[in-house]
Copies of this chain bind each other. A is one copy, B any other.
């Protein structure tokens, strides 16, 4: 199994604090040492970093911890291989283009005998169940909506059906973003926190590090952090219900 981390905000925000705690699970406080990756949307563009080394020893992870890349949508993943060997092409998140936008996807879980018919428009490069599921989702979205991206409610309804279909094959905790909205689906384990005014201090669970967000934010900032297991010891994390697909826009869940 793997661990997932995502951030969705109303203003470009750096993820250095959360990623620092999360990266410790990639070989230090937890055993997810079969690669890691992170993707940051910046406008329509994506910065995509993957490494087959453990996050805790990766020079690229070190860069991410030091270089405050600001983004409104970020998805990160640390991998413990279940299907697919340890190789760069099997590191999440995966990136593909649909409707002239990049889509970023990461998955935690294990799908058994999931072999959807892929029509060739999106094909996995590696050999994980996860990348196959991502290709299936994009193919089906394109099949339903053609060349025109749907409005958010229709997209959400379609994804709700599609993730339920994939979930029939096993555990499918996943995160998906096109840079404007962030979808997160929970099969077994996912939680989130929304940081907004009045901001307080937060202490990481995985490292002796705290940050006082009131010193580094404005009253209008709002940031949602979604993660497999809570990252901080003094914030109230809300657990997803099993089977729940949540949508985050501008740092808040949309009901």
Contact = CB atoms under 8 A, between A and B. Distances in A.
Interface of A: 42-52, 59-60, 63, 66-67, 87-91, 95-97, 99-102, 120-126, 142, 146-147
A97 B122 contact: yes
B147 A125 contact: no
Nearest to A91: B45
Contacts of A51: 47
Nearest to A88: B45
A86 B100 CA distance: 18
Given A46-B88, A63-B63, A88-B45, A121 B121 contact: yes
Contacts of A97: 96, 122-123, 125
Nearest to A99: B123
Nearest to A45: B88
Contacts of A91: 45
A87 B44 contact: yes
Contacts of A44: 87-89, 125-126
A123 B147 CA distance: 10
A43 B48 CA distance: 17
A16 to B, nearest CB: 13
B102 A125 contact: yes
| Copies of this protein, total | 2
19 contacts: A42-B52, A43-B88, A43-B89, A44-B87, A44-B126, A45-B90, A45-B126, A46-B89, A47-B50, A48-B48, A59-B63, A59-B67, A60-B63, A95-B95, A97-B125, A100-B123, A100-B124, A100-B125, A120-B147
Given A63-B59, A63-B63, A67-B60, A45 B87 contact: yes
Nearest to A95: B95
Contacts of A90: 45
A125 B235 CA distance: 38
A156 to B, nearest CB: 22
Contacts of A126: 44-45
B88 A42 contact: yes
Nearest to A40: B88
Nearest to A43: B87
A49 B69 CA distance: 13
Nearest to A146: B120
A138 to B, nearest CB: 10
